[in-house]
Chain A
């Protein structure tokens, strides 16, 4: 199968998934107890105010009509108006999206830089002290909530030692790398713990695989066995793992943006929640889902490039 048809097939499969994603987001506001109109209007609103809001949100129409409107508006890029920001939701998101994407990519790179080499060291020294030390440290890391890691780093590296800025975002690429280092490393420390753990077992599995035993029996140089036979196969698991962890990573981004006051989608989401800005909440939730499924897609494509078995199926 050529990669073009593969991409097309993969995209087609996303249609039913996204239909359900839309259903979930739609039902979120309508099915759960609590009237969004009352919630949005606040406690002191008059009945007339509530009715007006209800009208504006289209809550007076029958459910199916409402869903149809929601679907077609979304497909036309109309996510409604944000109550909090007083502009179109799509514009607010377009404004914040790059920051969150940058932060996420930065975190991915840092997680890989931390987890990759250490997973290798642990796997190659399995059962000996370097393995034990690395696993213990990461097990503790895995038990630390992201907001706590962030708070500790913020206090000591930014506030006390003044090595990094306390907040903000920066304008140039270099400034961004500097400003977003702490927020990113916060997420990376947590996600790398997840990745390290799984990657270590994946590498051990590859090291024990018969084809690696066969490569050893061929008397190949050690660097060739590691570089060509082990690394290449472990790379597939790494990519898969990273892809699957993207949801975790983005959850972490949301928290880290709040801790470090980074003006991204995560912090906006929390602001929207406290302001009961339902259109904005819906829009952000949808954007997060689109980002995750894009990553899933890229992971699949990358895998199919890397693994000849998938390429020809």
Chain B
């Protein structure tokens, strides 16, 4: 209710302390922190070489030696799930960060200059959201061919639109504020107003969305891996691992269950982190 002036960039340090008291946010931080550790140093955590084939120990159920059991070629499932962190965490970044960069720049420019570019942009957004996201992504993958890199390209080609739309709306909202008008009156260059003044203030919702999008990227990446359009075997990737185990799900359930748990846990981590950040960065309150 109060109209107290609020500077969207400077954050109150006590809000951090408050956020750190929320169990969801802390859990998210811990999950993602540990996931990053696993992704950066898989060798330090994995008990075996993820690609060591052992035909004498094929599809062994979980045991002390192999806590997640072994797969069709006798490889240690736990080690494969851990090594997959490398690929899947990388997905969260590479499948989103280029879309974010492109989207932020285009969204900021379109929001600042409006005019004909904005008109065209509006139609492009309408057209892109008319396709189910996955359909458009796999259509692009279809043309480029399956594989991780092509998957990143496909997701970026489609995904930037969502970031740009968010950024544009936010820049337009920020333009209404006095400091933007002041910058224009003082004769700052457009570039300075957009990138030094508008962008830092308008980026908050984009960052919050980015967190959610990273969770979605892991779901999407593993789905494409499962469908055979993303990471390719023998690479250890959760979707690929689940696909490998799908025909043995009633006899060797651990093959599909464990990577699935990794997906759910990491996705949950990102979405908890996103919710916490949203609270933290939200103006007022």
Stretch touching chain B among A80-88, A210-218, A269-277: A269-277
Task: Determine the residue in chain B with the shortest Cβ distance to A255.
Answer: B223
Task: Determine the residue in chain A with the shortest Cβ distance to B128.
Answer: A24
With A144-B263, A269-B138 known as contacts, the answer to whether A159 contacts B127 (CB < 8 A) is: no
Whether the Cβ atoms of B249 and A159 lie closer than 8 Å is yes
* B143-184 interface with A by 8 A CB criterion: 143-145
With A32-B143, A285-B136, A285-B139 known as contacts, the answer to whether A247 contacts B124 (CB < 8 A) is: no
Tell me, in angstroms, the Cα distance from A151 to B239 when the chains sit together.
12
With A34-B143, A285-B135 known as contacts, the answer to whether A274 contacts B223 (CB < 8 A) is: no
8 Å CB contact of A254 from B134, B253, B268:
B134
Interface flag for B85 (CB, 8 Å): no
The smallest beta-carbon distance between B41 and chain A, in angstroms, is: 24
Residues of B within 8 A of A (CB): 123-124, 126-136, 138-145, 215, 219, 222-223, 226-229, 239, 242, 246, 249-250, 253, 256, 260, 263-268, 271-272
14 residue pairs bridging A and B, Cβ less than 8 Å apart: A20-B124, A20-B126, A39-B143, A140-B268, A142-B271, A143-B215, A143-B219, A155-B250, A160-B250, A249-B132, A251-B135, A254-B138, A288-B131, A293-B130
* A18-37 interface with B by 8 A CB criterion: 18, 20-21, 23-25, 28-29, 32-34, 36
Residues of A within 8 A of B (CB): 16-18, 20-21, 23-25, 28-29, 32-34, 36, 39, 139-140, 142-148, 151-152, 154-155, 159-160, 246-251, 254-255, 258, 269-270, 272-274, 276, 281, 284-285, 288-289, 292-293, 296
Whether the Cβ atoms of A250 and B135 lie closer than 8 Å is yes
Task: Determine the residue in chain A with the shortest Cβ distance to B143.
Answer: A32
Tell me, in angstroms, the Cα distance from A142 to B272 when the chains sit together.
11
Whether the Cβ atoms of A139 and B271 lie closer than 8 Å is yes
Tell me, in angstroms, the Cα distance from A183 to B211 when the chains sit together.
29
Whether the Cβ atoms of B127 and A20 lie closer than 8 Å is yes
Tell me, in angstroms, the Cα distance from A289 to B143 when the chains sit together.
18
The smallest beta-carbon distance between A191 and chain B, in angstroms, is: 12
Residues of B close to A289: CB separation below 8 A: 130-131
The smallest beta-carbon distance between B279 and chain A, in angstroms, is: 13
A interface, over-half SS: helix
Whether the Cβ atoms of A20 and B123 lie closer than 8 Å is yes
Tell me, in angstroms, the Cα distance from A249 to B249 when the chains sit together.
26
Whether the Cβ atoms of A248 and B142 lie closer than 8 Å is no
Residues of B close to A250: CB separation below 8 A: 132, 134-135
8 Å CB contact of B227 from A148, A160, A270:
A270
- A143-B264, A254-B134 known; 9 new pairs, CB 8 Å cut-off, are A20-B124, A24-B128, A139-B271, A145-B239, A148-B242, A247-B132, A269-B135, A270-B227, A272-B142
Tell me, in angstroms, the Cα distance from A272 to B219 when the chains sit together.
23
With A142-B271, A143-B268 known as contacts, the answer to whether A247 contacts B133 (CB < 8 A) is: yes
Task: Determine the residue in chain A with the shortest Cβ distance to B275.
Answer: A139
The smallest beta-carbon distance between B175 and chain A, in angstroms, is: 26
Q: Which 6 A-B pairs have the closest CB atoms?
A: A143-B267, A251-B134, A20-B127, A250-B132, A273-B142, A143-B268
Tell me, in angstroms, the Cα distance from A139 to B128 when the chains sit together.
27
Residues of A close to B133: CB separation below 8 A: 247-248, 251
Whether the Cβ atoms of B271 and A147 lie closer than 8 Å is no
Tell me, in angstroms, the Cα distance from A17 to B272 when the chains sit together.
36
8 Å CB contact of B264 from A144, A147, A296:
A144
8 Å CB contact of A21 from B130, B144, B263, B271:
B130
Residues of A close to B126: CB separation below 8 A: 17, 20
Whether the Cβ atoms of A273 and B124 lie closer than 8 Å is no
Whether the Cβ atoms of B223 and A32 lie closer than 8 Å is no
The smallest beta-carbon distance between B11 and chain A, in angstroms, is: 23
Tell me, in angstroms, the Cα distance from A18 to B127 when the chains sit together.
7
Whether the Cβ atoms of A34 and B145 lie closer than 8 Å is yes
Whether the Cβ atoms of A247 and B223 lie closer than 8 Å is no
Tell me, in angstroms, the Cα distance from A152 to B139 when the chains sit together.
27
Whether the Cβ atoms of A145 and B143 lie closer than 8 Å is no
The smallest beta-carbon distance between B243 and chain A, in angstroms, is: 8
